[in-house]
Structure 1
């Protein structure tokens, strides 16, 4: 049996990473392994195999340190410039340019593929400051449905000028097309990647949302002792199952159509009375009665299973909110809904 790890200061970076991976569980760890190369997987696997028993206090301290660093110093968040400088130290300029092009902005093999994955409002806001001829070239290179949405968001007179240019357009010379691509790559995509960088507290809130309830409470308490301000910011950004009580009736009914009944029954087993009442109010009498019977027939359930079911439903609610199908009111007076 391996020796017990009980001295945090003696752990190497690789050993910390190994403990972190083992703590994440199979699904999350598997997704991270998919992003590593063979040498990284081999080194990390060797460290994991040699850990032996690790004291729970060591695991807790590792996660608290991770949360604290990410929330306060941003030391785990790099920039496009620092990444490019790091790559330039060991790779050729051609390889660096190719790699940076892939990570600057939306996915896609070509520039036009990438533009097709840019939100139409963001793209229209950029294009409205370009020459109509440039906009005409761009709109003829992206998919028609995407081009239509972008066109509808441009100022009307300007949009009509772009349409006129598109109608008159003949074959675009390769030099012009290359120039437009370079401009989009060097200006628009680079700025898009920089402005889209996520706030560290938002990232930590998402991570905490995916912890089980006991672990979340433990880490949050520890973080409050070390940095109360960051802990409060993370709390404010977290979205939990209980926050669904801020969804209006039509939104709850929409949510009910998108969640599986057995997962909702599991989630409600550990919900507050307010959350239960909200869901039952938006069901028919017969559906509510059946739901209660399903919950009773489950008997005692594990808290972990309740947390997983609630997390699934929260994820569905967030997706519906992002697509505009439901509205989740904020907790402040400014966000209250008026009927």
Structure 2
């Protein structure tokens, strides 16, 4: 396996010993991937069964990227998990085409097919939930010729990051229409939602029932906008404001952006830094506000902060698109950690840098 990148963590996790130092320098996803690779096929499948689509995708991608995991890495990760598991209520990590490709490559198509079905299509997958396992482009194709209100329901139902990418495959006018409908969507009649679910179940051969009828709203639009690419976000927000300026302001007030990291408490920043690679952090900080930079430096060891400052100075000009990509990667990690209750996020609101 390629040498794991060390995150510029200010302190080691509680209980981490010399034997687990190697594991402590890995990201949580890397540790989870190595842990699952050390298990048998059935045991790993059982663990994956309890994860959501995004979790399986992230872990599956990490597993697929590992070629030669040596004994020291496995030993360090196992000891790391043993040492921290006493203080954990559960273990969790993020899932779609990556896991399918990885399992097929590792086990062969025939052997992997049954395992893939158990992981990806087993359990209580409903017609709507099946969309969570699809590539965003595929979902866009499925709903492209549906009524705009159906498109809005699907976009509101799926995870914000997946919905954001789905929107990128539609024309600007369609994106605007969908987002305005999502903003005005608060509840869906159970019969209508069940009918949509049944149609999708027949198409994907899923099973189960749909109970969720409350979805959408301004907050949902803000969550989706948090994941939309910068080149799409700005014109889309401008279009929303042209239709309803108050609505646009409400959405902006609910969005959490990179500069809002300055409002996260020190413990949360320290936890976040342990999950972010040095390379991504350097690029993200190239376009960051000084307040955010100082917040980061403050929550690192003196030596790590000095090294990061030197790396920032040595780094040449970076395209704004690269900065936005790096910042969104960090924000994605932050939101995942917030959803897991690991950190608390405050309220948020091609040149070279």
Structure 2-normalised TM-score? 0.47
Q: Which has the higher helix share?
A: 1
> Which structure is larger by alpha-carbon Rg, 1 or 2?
1
Structure 1-normalised TM-score? 0.48
